[in-house]
Every structure is written in structure tokens, then in C-alpha cells.
Amino acid sequence: MKHSLVLLQDEVEGVFSPARPEETAAVHSSWARQIEELTAAGQWRRVSLPLASGGELRGLAAAAPTPANIYVCGECGSTMDAARWLSGEGLLEPWDAAATVRQHSARGQMRRPWSSLAGNLFATVRWPGPPGERFGVEAWDRLTPLVVGWMLAEAFSELGVELEIKWPNDLLWRGRKTAGILVEERRGVTVAGVGLNLAKAPDAEDLRADSAVQAASLNEAGLDPPPLTLWIRLVTFCQNCYKSLLRSAGPQEFLQRFSRRMAWTGRMATVRENDCAPYQARIVGVAADGGLRIRRGGTEHIIYSGSVNAE
């Protein structure tokens, strides 16, 4: 099946604005390079996408080859919201993604706000269903947030940038956060929102007061491709990696691979579980169901939500 990279030309009220080439290029120099690269690949082609609710969504399709459909919108609340809308209209298949140049209401773990700086990459991919019956659907389903983070870390390794995973799925470069990932499932559809500090990282004063992890950009790590060019490379790798993982590993073997990339194992950390008071505990590792194993007061516990920050 042939896939397309489409700049959406229609506004959907309350969801996203149009992504016209000249306006997209004006957002940041990285997007200007992206539009120049896509334009050089061939003429934009006008397309009309049929909607499940009736009517059509107009777009401009680029000639660039892609491993899945990429729908680029203008400003939106978040790509998670855009992806949900596209999925509801029958436009988002597994590995397809919604991307944007700017978000104004992005969220991360525990619904914390995510800083969306111009020039960075914001996308949400529809994640494929559980790997199948071979190792049990439920076992893999629980591990999806870890799988997404691990695959992206492996993809960056192929690009020459070594990242660690801060449980469950934030990506760190030299101890500083370069990417945030949020996985949500609704009505049988799983989406993974990815925010990459590609061109710029938030300044220290712009981070949450309780954040012990400073931010870094991939540009600092020597990686500087246009946003969608990078996304195409990441999705291509993840598709191949996903197939390979199904052929070669079960959940327990995957967790061993994940553990080798997990940050801070063995270190003391500040743990914040939802609205509970923070406390100190030692990070032990990852549990069979994807929870974080910690040791507090001589007793091991497993947590499934919250945040950890090493000292």
C-alpha cells in the first residue's frame, strides 16, 4: 500500500488549523528546511480524504516516500487530540500519525503540561494491536508504554545517539530529558504521543519547580534533521523492530532488553505517586507486568503510576 505525507488544508474547529506550506515554513528554520526538502522532491498534489462522518478533508500530498500516512496539521491543542479525531473519521491506521508544528495544550504523564517549543517534533502514532496470541495479548498490552520508549531509544541508537529510558518511557541523553511519551487507549485504539526536543530544549526556569531532570535537545547530541524526515526514519525503524520483536522475543526477554536501557537502576530517587507526599526509595528494576520495582525501608514495592527522579 502506498502511503502519503499530507499537509491538511482544512480547519477542524476545536481540533486543528490548516498547515499550508508557506505558513508551516515560517514557524521555524527546521520546518523551513522540511518544506524545502519536500518541495524539491516533487510537486504538491491536491488530495481529498473521505470522512466517516461524511464530507471530505482537503490536503496537499508530498511526493516523499513514507512508511505510513503522516497527517500534518497547523496549530492544535495536542496531536493526541488530532489523532483521536482522525481515527474517529477512519483516517488513522496502525503506524499512521498526526503531526503538528505547534501545540497549545499538550500534556505528559499525570496530565502535566508539556512545553511545545517551535522547531521541535510533536506527533502521535496509532500503535498496532497487541502482538498476538503467541505470548498472550494481555501480557504485551501492559507493556506497551515500555515497548514504545524502548523502540524509540533503539531507533536513536541506530542514528548514533545513545539514550536511556526513564521509567516508564521518557528518553534521557546524558541524564537530561530529550523526549516525553504518553500512551493512551480508548475504545480499543491505542495512540502514543511523542514530543521530541529536536531543535531546542526548555530553559531551566521554564521547567516545573519539582522537576529534577533538566532538558536537552537532540541538536546538542549532534542530530539535526528536519522534523518529518526524522519521524519517517523513526517509524520505519519501529515497524521493522516490532516485527523482529514478535519473531524473537516474549515479554520476559523484552523486559531484559528494556532493563539494559533503563536509567538509574540501583540509585536512590524521589518518588511521587499521584497526590501522595514524595518519598525516598531505591530503584530496583522493572516488574514482569511493567511496574517499577522500588525498595523502601527494607521492603520492595511495585508502583504503576507517578514519577521518579534520581538524586
The CATH number of residue 280's host domain is 2.30.30
Is the pLDDT at 130 greater than 70? The verdict is no
Pair 20, 136 in one domain: yes
Lowest mean pLDDT among 108-112, 182-186, 197-201: 108-112
Pair 147, 296 in one domain: no
Is the pLDDT at 169 greater than 70? The verdict is yes
Pair 191, 288 in one domain: no
Lowest mean pLDDT among 91-105, 125-139, 249-263: 125-139
Pair 167, 286 in one domain: no
- Final residue of a domain: which of 261, 286, 302? 261
Pair 162, 292 in one domain: no
Pair 97, 134 in one domain: yes
Pair 153, 291 in one domain: no
Pair 76, 158 in one domain: yes
Pair 45, 66 in one domain: yes
State what percent of residues in the chain have pLDDT above 70. Answer: 90
Average pLDDT over residues 139-148: 88
DSSP the chain: ----EEEE-S-BTTTB----HHHHHTT-HHHHHHHHHHHHTS--EEEEEEPTTSSEEEEEEES---SS-EEEESSBS-HHHHHHHHHHTT---TT-EEEES-BSS-B-GGG-B----TTSEEEEEEPPPP--SSS-HHHHHHTHHHHHHHHHHHHHHHTT---EEETTTEEEETTEEEEEEEEEEETTEEEEEEEE-SS----GGGS-TT----B--TTTTT----HHHHHHHHHHHHHHHHHHHHHH--HHHHHHHHHHHBTTTTSEEEEE-TTSPPEEEEEEEE-TTSPEEEEETTEEEEE-SSEEEE-
- Final residue of a domain: which of 222, 241, 261? 261
Average pLDDT over residues 162-167: 97
Is the pLDDT at 136 greater than 60? The verdict is no
Average pLDDT over residues 192-205: 88
Q: How many domains does the chain have?
A: 2
User: pLDDT value at position 207?
Assistant: 57
Lowest mean pLDDT among 90-99, 182-191, 244-253: 244-253
Pair 137, 278 in one domain: no
Residue 307: pLDDT band by 50, 70, 90 thresholds?
confident
Instruction: Give residue 148's domain range.
Output: 5-261
Pair 191, 63 in one domain: yes
Pair 9, 134 in one domain: yes
Average pLDDT over residues 160-166: 97
User: pLDDT value at position 249?
Assistant: 82
pTM, two decimal places: 0.92
Q: What is the pLDDT of residues 4-59, one digit of tens each?
A: 999 999 999 999 999 999 999 999 999 999 999 999 988 899 999 999 999 999 99
User: pLDDT value at position 110?
Assistant: 45
CATH code: domain of residue 75? 3.30.930.10
